Structure 1
Amino acid sequence: MLVRKDSKVIAVDGSRMALFKNVGEAFAPVLELIEEHKNPSLRTSEIGTDKPGRTFQSKTPRRGTHELTDFQQQEEDRFSIEVAEKIDKIVSETKAGVVLVAAPRALGVIRKNLEADTSAKLLAEIPKAFGSGEAEALAKMLTKHEA
């Protein structure tokens, strides 16, 4: 995939977002970290301390439990929604183009919350998980990726 010079690359997973700028050439991207946002990750016991709900059937002595809410996933989804708002702003300010690389679940949440014109302006949406410290691996993946 060709990533023109000065294009932005946004890497997102459930708990962090990194914004890179291509300072290299289109065929050999060199990504430079511009900014990074992290979602402070609390333990599940700190987010929710309740026990799973129980049901009782009046005719039989059977008892059942309800599935416990996944508070970690809720926090990751909330963070992905915030990231979608930031992506809208970045895409509106950038003329060179933007590539979005995100973990598959985070990408799904982000897609739902992006504005329609933002989705159209993205050069590519790639469902892979990369973090902020993996600029070289991300650049290699971009050179091999076919859009």
Structure 2
Amino acid sequence: MLVRKDSKVIAVDGSRMAMFKNVGEAFDPVLELIEEHKNPSLRTSELGTDKPGRSFQSKSPSRGAYEPTDLQQQEEDRFVTEVAQRIEQIVGDKDARVILVAAPRALGVIRKHLKPDTSARLLAEIAKDFGPDAAEPLAKMLAKHEI
């Protein structure tokens, strides 16, 4: 994949976002970290302590339980929504060349929160899980990746 010099690569998962700048050549990218955000991971007990809800049938003695809410996933989705807003700001610059690499679930949440014109201006969306400490493996993947 052609990653032009000074293009930005944003790597996102549920708990981290890192923005890199390509300081290398187009076919041999070298990524330099320019911005990083981390979602402080709280224990589930710190996020909430409620028990799952119960349901009762009025015509029979049977009872059932509702599926408990995944509080960790809600927190990750909230963080990824904030990242989507940051991507809106970055891509708002008309000259910005941005490649988005995100974990598949995070990419789905980001897509829901990006405006259509912002999504259209992204150079590529790649559904892979790379953290902010993975600049070198990410650069190798981009060099081999085909759109």
Same fold (TM over 0.5): yes
Question: Is 1:16–1:38's contact at 8 Å kept on the other side of the alignment?
Answer: yes
TM-score of the superposition, structure 2-length normalised?
0.96
TM-score of the superposition, structure 1-length normalised?
0.96
> 1 CA distance for matches of 2:75 and 2:68?
15
Task: Give structure 1 stretches of 5+ with no counterpart.
Answer: none
Count of paired positions: 147
Task: Give structure 2 stretches of 5+ with no counterpart.
Answer: none
After TM superposition, the structure 1 = structure 2 runs for residues 125-140 of structure 1, keeping only pairs within 5 Å, are: 125-140=125-140
Structure 2 residue matching 1:110: 3-state secondary structure = helix
Deviates more, 1:89-98 or 1:65-74: 89-98
Which residue pairs with 2:51 in the alignment? 51
Deviation, structure 1 residue 128:
0.5
Which residue pairs with 2:87 in the alignment? 87
Question: Is 1:99–1:125's contact at 8 Å kept on the other side of the alignment?
Answer: yes
Q: Tell me which amino acid in the other structure corresponds to 2:49.
A: T
Which residue pairs with 2:106 in the alignment? 106
Runs of 4+ in structure 1 over 3 Å off: none
Deviation, structure 1 residue 56:
2.1
Question: Is 1:48–1:71's contact at 8 Å kept on the other side of the alignment?
Answer: yes
> 1 CA distance for matches of 2:38 and 2:94?
22
RMSD (CA atoms): 1.1
Deviation, structure 1 residue 40:
1.1
Deviations 1:103-122 (A, max 9, x none): 00110110111122211110
Q: Percent identity of the aligned residues?
A: 77
Q: 1:94–1:32: structure 2 CA closer, same or farther, 3 Å change rule? A: farther
> 2 CA distance for matches of 1:42 and 1:140?
33
Deviation, structure 1 residue 71:
0.8
